[in-house]
Amino acid sequence: RLILDKFSNTDDRFNKHRNYMMILLSVLCELEIVSTNFVRDIKKRKVIKHIRLVLTDEERVLVNEYLFEYFPEFHRFLHIFFHSGARISELLRVKDIDIDFKNQRFRLLIQKGSNYREVWRQIKTVALPYWEEQMKTCKENDFVFSKGLMPGVNQIQPYQINKRWYRHVKKKFNIKADFYSLKHLHTTEVVEMINSNEAALHNGHTSTDMVNKVYDIRRVSRNQKNIIDLDNKFA
C-alpha cells in the first residue's frame, strides 16, 4: 500500500498500478511463491469518469492536411486505424499473410480475456487505397507496420503511436484528444450512419454494451436532444 501511495500521483494511476500488482501477484500465486493475492484487499479509489474528448471537424481537417504533407506514413496509419475497428496493439501485430485483398479483409489476433482468437475484419472501400499503398513494399512475413510505420521484420510497440501523436499533433496544435479517441469517433459515426449492432460487429464486440457505454460518445447527447424536443405540455 505504501508503494502504491508513493508512486501514484492520481487516483486513476493508483487504480492502474493496483491492477498491475494484482496481475503480478496472480503469477506468484500460480507458482506458489505467495499463498494469496493480498493486493485484492486494497480498495480501489473513486475516480471521476471524464467525458471522452475527440477531434472537432476543424481539427480533423487540420491534422489530416498536416500529416499528409509532413508525415505521410503516420497519415496513412491514422486512416487505416480509424477505419479498422481494431486496437492499436492488434493492428501492429498484422503481417502480410493476414491481408486478403480479394475478399477485402484482414486477420487480427485478439488477445483479450481468457482465450485468444483470430478474427477477420473488413477493409472498408474508403480505406482500401491506404492499405494498398502500405502493402507495396511489404515482403513475405513482414509486419505491415514496423520501424518508421513502414513494413518490416520487427514488431513495434503501441506506445510509439502515442508518442508520435503527442509530438506531431497534441503538442504542435494544443489538441487535447488522444490517438485512441479516433476509435470512439469512428464508432459513433457508424452508429449514426447504420446502427449500434453494426458498430459492435465492426469493433469485434460480442454485444452492443461496450458501444453504448464506452465508444458511442454522442449517445447521451442524442438522448438529451430527444428530451429537449418533447412537447408534453402540462396544460
Buried b (16+ CB within 10 A) or exposed e, 188-226: bebbeeeebeebbbbbbbeebebbeeebbbbbeeeeeee
Residue 63 to residue 43: CA distance in whole angstroms: 41
The pLDDT tens digits of the residues spanning 169-204 come to 999 999 999 999 999 999 999 998 999 988 888 888
Residue 45 to residue 94: CA distance in whole angstroms: 37
* pLDDT band at residue 211 under the 50/70/90 scheme: confident
Locate cell 503480478: which residue?
24
The answer to whether 165 touches 111, Cβ cutoff 8 Å, is: no
Q: Is 80 exceeded by the pLDDT of residue 234?
A: yes
Helices (H) and strands (E) in the chain, counts: 12, 3
* pLDDT at position 88: 95
- Average pLDDT score over the chain: 92
Model pTM? 0.84
The answer to whether 88 touches 81, Cβ cutoff 8 Å, is: yes
Q: Is 90 exceeded by the pLDDT of residue 231?
A: no
Percent of residues, the chain, with pLDDT higher than 90? 69
The pLDDT tens digits of the residues spanning 85-133 come to 999 999 999 999 999 999 999 999 888 766 788 899 999 999 999 999 9
Average pLDDT over residues 33-61: 91
Residue 235 to residue 233: CA distance in whole angstroms: 5
Average pLDDT over residues 80-88: 95
Q: Is 90 exceeded by the pLDDT of residue 18?
A: yes
Listing DSSP states for 8-24 in one string gives: -SSHHHHHHHHHHHHHH
* pLDDT at position 113: 67
